[in-house]
Structures are given as structure tokens and as C-alpha cells.
A and B are shown apart, each in its own frame.
Chain A
Amino acid sequence: MELVSPGIGLIFWMTLAFGLLLFILGKFVWPPIMRALSEREQAIELALHEANKARKEMEELRFSNEQLLREAKEERDGILRDARKVRESIIEDSKVKATEEANRILENATERIHFEKMAAITDLKNQIANLSIEIAEKILRQELSDPEKDKAIVRKSISDITLN
């Protein structure tokens, strides 16, 4: 049977051709193709990985941003609160101070008034003394004749002097 009897010539040429094909393709064609394919796959893998990482980083960044914002808000609130407190305390302080000052002024004034009053009193006393002396002089000059009258005059004079 021709159909199932392989011829030596054909076996020879086929071995030669297929061997040569295997050599040529195996040397110049398949290595660059396989290399390029695996390189591209690695690149894709890497790119996917990077993208994932970037997304995760973004997520983290967003999270930290929020955190930051929240912290900032809290800080702002804190500052505001402090400021309010400080303002209040300043007001309070100033109120206290003002009161103190007022009190001091008042005290001073009182002291001064007291002092003035004392001075006035002293003055008055001096004047009274002078007056008394004058009166006494007058009395002495005018009325030294009648002691009874003198006494009445002195009493009257003294009662007329109103201290304060």
C-alpha cells in the first residue's frame, strides 16, 4: 500500500525541513515572542499592582486628610474656645481691676476727704480757738466787770460753736 508506506526520501526531506524549521524558529522567532509576552504580562501585573497600591495610598491619603481636617477643626474650636475664655477672663480681670481701681480711688477719695475733713477740723479748731481767744479777749475787755454776765456769754459762745 502506497498510502501507508513511508518513503525514505520523504522522511529524509521532512526531517531536514522540520529540523531546520525548529532551529530557525527556535533561535530567531520563539524566544523574542515568549520574552515579549512574559515581559508584557509582568508589566501589566506590575501596573495593576501599582494602581492598587496608588489607590490604597489615595485612600490612606484621603483618610489622613480627613483626619487632618478633623484635627484642624478641633484645634480651631479649641483655639476659639481658649480665645473666648481668654476674652472672658480679660473682661473679668478688667472688671476686677476696674472695681479695684474704683475702690482704690474711692478709698483714696475717702482718705483724702477724711484728711481734708481733719484738716478742716483742725483749721476749724484753730479758728475756734482763735475765736475763743478773740471772744475771750472781747469778753475780757468788755465784760470783765460782771462775772455773771461773763460766764453767760462764755457759755453761750461755746454752745454756739457747732463742731461739724
Chain B
Amino acid sequence: MRTFLLSISFLLTSLWAVSNAPSHEEPLSAQQETTTSHEEKFNAGHMIIDHIVDSHDWHIATFGHTHITIPLPIILFDEGKLIVFSSAKFHHGEHAYLGYKIESDRKAGKGKIVKVIPGTMETDKTAARPLDFSITKTVVGIIISFIVLLLVFFPVARAYKRNAGHAPKGMQSLLEPVILFIRDDIAEPSIGKHYKRFMPFLLTLFFFIFFSNLIGLFPFFPGGANVTGNIAVTLVLAAFTFIITTFIGNRSYWLHIFNPPGVPWWLKFPLPLLPLIELAGVFIKPFVLMVRLFANITAGHIIVLGFVSLIFIFANMNPALGYGVSPVSVLFSVFISLLELLVAFIQAYVFTMLSALYFGMATEDHGHEHAHEASH
């Protein structure tokens, strides 16, 4: 998304310069027109938010007034009915279809699908919103990550079967250090000797986050969806970790939560202060996992988009300023993008590592450990 913006930013700056030039010379006629078109009145904040939130079509580029987008299917549940149609019917949010439209008002949840008052484009504020199960841009991004993971790992698994007992080759040798890293440096030290049954989840988790992060950095169509920077996605990932931790938690794990040993009794009775804190911790841990990944990836996108926006902000003041700022902006964006490559790995690592730690805490044999501590 961001590098895409970098490349078209040059293109757009020139368009901007051309379209803005008359508005400066003839403010009366041109300015009136441009305010109605969302494209020419540049607002960096809105532009950035529009790029990182989910949308019902996949926007590729805009040349003048022509939007190049991939329409995506809209799936709605409304009053017990299943309604399916293409998002192309909305004409980039300018039209209503079957009584629905994409909300354009930022204060009322821009981008959500709402009901309209029949015959108009006005939002029907009294009607309940339909349940939106659309295949949005992020869903397509998830599916792309899904397909990439299958395309990468099925041949690798086959290579392991065919090439059994020999040195790894090609893709296999690229991924083997990472798999071994997850096994030997994340799972085994965090979980202990019963780490094997968590390996499928940890590997899937790591590679899904890592690949999604990397694909999110890729600017053009198959990439660029802000998958891991979407809170619903990180919510689901964190929920998986939470559910697994809760289900595998052994007796001593729950004992440590509801009756923490080695703590003064007045912290537990009559007011169960510590158990309450521990119980809150059970929910805070996955919540923090969710927020950390979401915030890191979103922040990276925002910074890159911010640098790109600088070009347009300065170009709005003066076209020459826009040209002057663009090399600096591009340089900074490239720098941040490189940093994001690192973040892509680190966040995948941190999420996996913490999940493994939580599993380790839930399955740890505390009794044994205390005996060990006592011997010191």
C-alpha cells in the first residue's frame, strides 16, 4: 500500500499540480467544484484512515475522476434474509442499492453499510444496521495470506517427505531455520518438554502473522491489505491463544489464579484482591496481544502514509514545494518501510513467543518447581 503510494505519488503530484493550478489562479470557479470531489481537497488524516481501515472494494488507483477498483461481494444478513450482491452496485459509495448504501459520513461510521430512506441517499437513522458478512478487502487479504501459506508450505512439506534424511533444498532451507527457531527458541524454552502438541498452532500463528505483515507491506493488488493492522483479525488470533490457554490450564494454573500461594492471607480474604487481579490478568494478556499487533502494524502504515501525505500537503500550498518535499518524503517512507520489515518479523515473533509463554504458564507443573525452589 505504502510503496504503491510512493510510486503513484509522483504521478499524482503532477496531476495535483495541474488540477490545483487553476484553483489558485481562478479561485472563484474552480474551488467551488473541487470541494465536492473528495479527491482534491486533501486531508491527510482522512486519507490515512481511509487507507488503513477495511473497505468493501479494493481500490487500486485513481486517475483524475476514474477509480480503478476491484469490486468485492457484499453479503448482508438483514431481518433474517441473506442478501448478496457486488459492491460495484454502490458505484464507489455514490449510489444506493436495494435500500443499502455505504455510509459516507465520518461521524456515523464511514464505510459501514447502512439502510437508506427509500428513494433518497439519506441514512435511515431509525433502522438497525444489517449484519455485514461481506468479503471485504481485509477478508480477501486473509484469503491471500491463506493461499500463500498453503502454496509455500505444501511444497515444503512434500520436500521433507521426498528429501527425507538429506540436507534441505530451496524454499525448504529458507524456512527451516525459522521453523527451528520457533521450535528451539520459542516453544521449547517457554513451554517445556510438552511443547510438541502446541507446535502446529505456534507455527501457523507465526507464519500467518509474518506472511500477512509482509504481504501488507507489498504495495500492489495481491498485497497491501492491512490484515494484521485490523483489530478484528488480531482479536481472533488473540482469542485463539486465550481459548487454548483456558482449556489446557491445569489445576495448579487455576490454583495460582484463585488462590495464589506465597501471598499474605489478607490479600485474598475477605476481599479477594489478588485473585481478582489475577483473573483480570487472564483477560488482559490476550487483550494486550490483540492491541500490540494491531497498534504496531497500524502505526507503521500510518507513519509511511504520513510521510507520503506530506507531499500532498506541501503541494496544496505550492506545487513547487510538493516537488521539493517529495524526495525527502520518499526517502523517509522507504526508511520506515525497511523498519517495517523488521517489525513484521518482530511482531510475529512477539505474538508467538507470548502465546507460547501463556501455554507454558498454563501447563507448568508448579508443585515440582516449588520443591526445586525450596532446595535452593
A→B interface (CB under 8 Å): 2-15, 17-18, 20-22, 24-26, 28-37, 39-40, 43
Contacts and interface: CB of A to CB of B under 8 A. Distances in A.
Nearest to A13: B139
Contacts of B240: 18, 22
A3 B52 CA distance: 8
Contacts of A28: 154, 157
A35 to B, nearest CB: 8
Interface of chain A, main secondary structure: helix
B204 A33 contact: no
A4 B165 CA distance: 48
B138 A10 contact: yes
Query: Which are the 10 A-B pairs with shortest beta-carbon distances?
Result: A6-B232, A26-B200, A36-B160, A10-B232, A9-B133, A14-B236, A29-B157, A30-B200, A13-B139, A29-B153
Most buried by A among B160, B183, B239: B160
A12 B138 CA distance: 12
A15 B236 contact: yes
A18 B237 contact: yes
Contact of A9 (B75, B146, B150): B75
Interface residues of B, number: 52
Most buried by B among A10, A15, A22, A31: A10
B154 A9 contact: no
B192 interface: no
Contacts, number: 123
A13 B328 CA distance: 40
B208 A9 contact: no
Interface of chain B, main secondary structure: helix
Nearest to A2: B53
A17 B53 CA distance: 20
B236 A9 contact: no
Contact of A26 (B135, B143, B201): B201
B363 interface: no
Contacts of B54: 2, 7, 10
Contact of A37 (B52, B110, B179): B179
Nearest to B167: A40
Interface of B: 49, 52-54, 75, 109-112, 131-136, 138-139, 142-143, 146, 149-150, 153-154, 156-157, 160-161, 164-165, 176, 179-180, 183, 196, 199-201, 203-204, 208, 230-233, 235-237, 239-240, 294, 298
B203 A25 contact: yes
Contact of B156 (A8, A33, A34): A33
A34 B75 contact: no
20 contacts: A2-B112, A7-B136, A9-B136, A11-B232, A14-B139, A14-B233, A14-B237, A15-B236, A15-B239, A17-B146, A18-B142, A25-B149, A25-B153, A25-B200, A25-B203, A26-B200, A26-B201, A31-B200, A33-B156, A39-B164
B161 A36 contact: yes
A14 B157 contact: no
B132 A7 contact: yes
Nearest to A26: B200
Most buried by B among A7, A18, A20, A43: A7
A52 to B, nearest CB: 20
Given A3-B298, A11-B236, A36-B161, A30 B142 contact: no
Most buried by B among A3, A9, A24: A9
Contacts of B49: 2-3
B208 A30 contact: no
Given A22-B201, A36-B164, 13 more contacts: A2-B54, A4-B231, A5-B231, A7-B232, A18-B142, A22-B200, A22-B240, A25-B149, A32-B157, A32-B160, A36-B161, A37-B160, A40-B165
A24 B150 contact: yes
Nearest to A12: B133
A85 B175 CA distance: 78
A57 to B, nearest CB: 24
Given A2-B49, A7-B132, A8-B132, A32 B204 contact: no
